Amino acid sequence: MSSSSIPTAQELIGRARDLAPVIARRALECERLGRLPDESFADFRDAGFYRILQPKRFGGYEHDMYTLLEVTREIGRSGCCSSAWVLAILAIHNFYLGYFPPQAQEDIWGDDQDTQTCTPFVPAGTITKVAGGIEIRDGRWTFASGCDHARFALLGVLVPDDAGGPPEYFQCVVPVGDYQIDHTSWDVVALKGTGSKDITVTECFVPTHRMFSLSKVAQDIAPGREINTAPLYKQPFFAASVCSLIAPAWGAAQAALAAYEERLQSRMMVFGAGKQADKSTAQLRLVESAAEIDAAGLLIKRNCDELKALADAGTQSTKVLRARALFEGAYATTMLTRSVERLFVASGGSALHEGNVIQRCWRDIHAINSHAGMNLDNMGELYAQVRLGQDIDHGLI
């Protein structure tokens, strides 16, 4: 793909801003379907959003991580956090795949560069080494967001070590015919429209060239870098990519803030207490939440910028920066959650209606904050240990 045919970051962000009202109108449909509507999946595809971080050799744009965050944030501002989440997940997988063995990338995108993948990370299944690869039996993987629109799953497995050492952690590229989706498994109260269903495998073979070591990528060993040499793919695999999961929460918080501020102008308090907009407490809720949302955004951008600058310079990021980025991502998400919690409580009973964007953002942002990558305690402990110079070996950094 020539550089002249690649949309600029601002063009992509503008497309997301224009599309957000359409996504907003589909928000209830998305929740009731329990997955991203087909029309929204197609709109994101046609706008080029899934290609933002995809390798150029397979039709991608190779933009920076922050471009994906801004595009996802704009979709999140629609108030349909589920749609923004699926967009972020599918698009970040195309960043992951840039690190995978070249033949695995060819298998996925060789015939169709719009092919998408789902990624249940947590290892499962019984794994046996066989000639030319591994055999997976009797596995169930949870939280396969966007699986209804994927043609491959990147399944987490632990492969036994022949010498009796710790197993090696892999992601395996498995085509849709070799796994099944349990459509009854996604019955939740938040992020309802993400279709993060369970995936099962009875038995399948995975060739070695479709196996990617998550254990080794933490040591900056990634075979895909042989063909994808752009600075984008020199960034730390986990610290950079987890940033993308914050963007739906960022957009949702902004959507909740906008809805609260608009409602504040006309909402009358009960028992003759007057307009809510005249109350100093309501005013404080507004500006305190706005400040937290802005502060979270600044943390996200700083980390994206620093990781990108080091990659552009060909300099390896430090463990301290990687750990800080992971912690500050969790901290930013916690701030965003607090901001929406405050607005939801201040909005009164009217916020409970199904069509009210504040309650949807409140539910969804709490769900994002519960994601393992956003766990404040775990990420805080990791960052503190690294800052204190403790000798630790952690797969995320």
Assess whether pLDDT exceeds 80 at residue 222: yes
DSSP three-state, residue 55? coil
Q: How confident is the model at residue 210 (pLDDT cuts 50, 70, 90)?
A: very high
Q: What does the radius of gyration of the chain's CA atoms come to, in whole angstroms?
A: 21
Token readout for 111 is 């015939």
Token readout for 273 is 């207490």
In tens, the pLDDT along 67-121 reads 999 999 999 999 999 999 999 999 999 999 999 999 999 999 999 999 999 999 8
Listing from the earlier edge strand, what are the strands of the sheet with 117-118? Answer: 117-118, 152-159, 168-175, 211-213
- Determine how many CB atoms are found less than 10 A away from the CB of residue 138: 11
Q: In angstroms, what CA-CA distances link 348 with 99, 260, 270, 353, 359?
A: 48, 11, 10, 11, 11
What pLDDT, on a 0 to 100 scale, did the predictor assign at position 270? Answer: 65
**Hey, what domains does the chain have and what are their CATH numbers?**
3-114 (1.10.540.10), 117-217 (2.40.110.10), 237-387 (1.20.140.10)
Mean pLDDT (whole number) for 120-147:
96
Nearest CA-CA partner of 55 in 100, 119, 118 = 100
Token readout for 293 is 């949302």
d(CA 194, CA 363): 13
Percent of the chain predicted with pLDDT > 90: 84
d(CA 195, CA 77): 20
- Contact indicator for 337, 363 with CB cutoff of 8 Å: no
DSSP three-state, residue 192? helix
d(CA 51, CA 46): 10
What pLDDT, on a 0 to 100 scale, did the predictor assign at position 280? Answer: 85
d(CA 79, CA 196): 19
What pLDDT, on a 0 to 100 scale, did the predictor assign at position 351? Answer: 79
The tokens 């019984």 sit on which residue? Answer: 126
Token readout for 283 is 């005013």
In tens, the pLDDT along 365-387 reads 999 999 998 999 999 999 999 99
Q: In angstroms, what CA-CA distances link 289 with 259, 264, 294, 366?
A: 12, 14, 9, 15
d(CA 314, CA 396): 21
Q: Report the DSSP beta bridge partners of residue 159.
A: 168
C-alpha 65 chain-centroid distance: 11
DSSP string, 222-285: -GGGGT--SGGGGS-HHHHHHGGGGHHHHHHHHHHHHHHHHHHTTPBPSTT--BGGG-HHHHHH
Mean pLDDT (whole number) for 35-55:
98
- Determine how many CB atoms are found less than 10 A away from the CB of residue 204: 18
The tokens 């933009």 sit on which residue? Answer: 63
